[in-house]
Amino acid sequence: MAKRSNSRLGVILTVLVLAMLGLAYAFVPLYKSFCQAIGIPIAQVGTDLRRAPSGAPVAISDRTVTVRFMGTVNRDFPLEFAPQTVALKLHLGEPTLVAYTARNTSDKAIEGIAVHQALGQGDDDVVDVLQYIDLEQCFCFDAHTYPAGEAVNLPVSFIIKPDLPKGIHTITFQYTMFRYEG
Partner 1 sequence: MSAEAISDNHGHHDHAPSKKGFMYYLTTTNHKDIGKMYLLTALNFFIIGGLFAMFIRAELAEAGYQLLNHPFSVGPFTFSFSGEFFNQMTAMHATFMIFFAIIPAFIGLGNFFVPIMIGSPDMAFPRLNNWSFWILPFSGLLMLLSFFVPGGAPGAGWTSYPPLTSAAYSPGPGMDMWILGIHLAGASSILGSINFIVTTLNMRAPGMTLFKMPLFVWSMLVTAWLQLIATPVLAGAVTMLLTDRNFGTSFFNMAGGGDPVLYQHIFWFYSHPAVYIMILPGFGIISEVIATFSRKPLFGYITMVWAIIGIAVLGCLVWAHHMFTVGMDPRAQMMFMAMTFLIGVPTGIKVFNWLATMWEGVLEFTTSMKFAIAFVGLFTIGGLSGIVCAAAPVDYQIHDTYYVVAHIHYVFFAGSFLSIMAGVYYWFPKMFGRLMSEKMGSVHFWLTFIFMNVTFFPMHFLGLMGMPRRIPDYNPVFSDLNLLCSIGAFGLGATQILLIINAFWSAKHGKLAGSNPWGGHTLEWQVSSPPPEHNFEKIPVVK
Smallest distance, Å, CB 75 to partner 1? 24
Beta bridge partners of 172: 68, 119
User: With CB under 8 A as the contact rule, which of the stretches 11-19, 115-123, 127-135, 149-157 interacts with partner 1?
Assistant: 11-19
Going by the DSSP 8-state scheme, the letter that residue 59 receives in this structure is P
Q: Does 37 bind partner 1 (CB under 8 A)?
A: no
Contacts of 100 (CB under 8 A, 6+ apart): 69, 71, 81, 82, 83, 84, 139, 153, 154, 156, 175
Q: Does 33 bind partner 1 (CB under 8 A)?
A: no
Smallest distance, Å, CB 61 to partner 1? 16
Q: Does 5 bind partner 1 (CB under 8 A)?
A: yes
Q: Does 141 bind partner 1 (CB under 8 A)?
A: no
Options 33, 37, 43, 98; binder of partner 1; rule CB under 8 A: 43
Smallest distance, Å, CB 62 to partner 1? 14
| Beta strand spans in 11-50 (E) | none
Contacts of 69 (CB under 8 A, 6+ apart): 83, 85, 86, 87, 98, 100, 172, 173
* Residue among 16 and 52 whose Cβ is closer to partner 1: 16
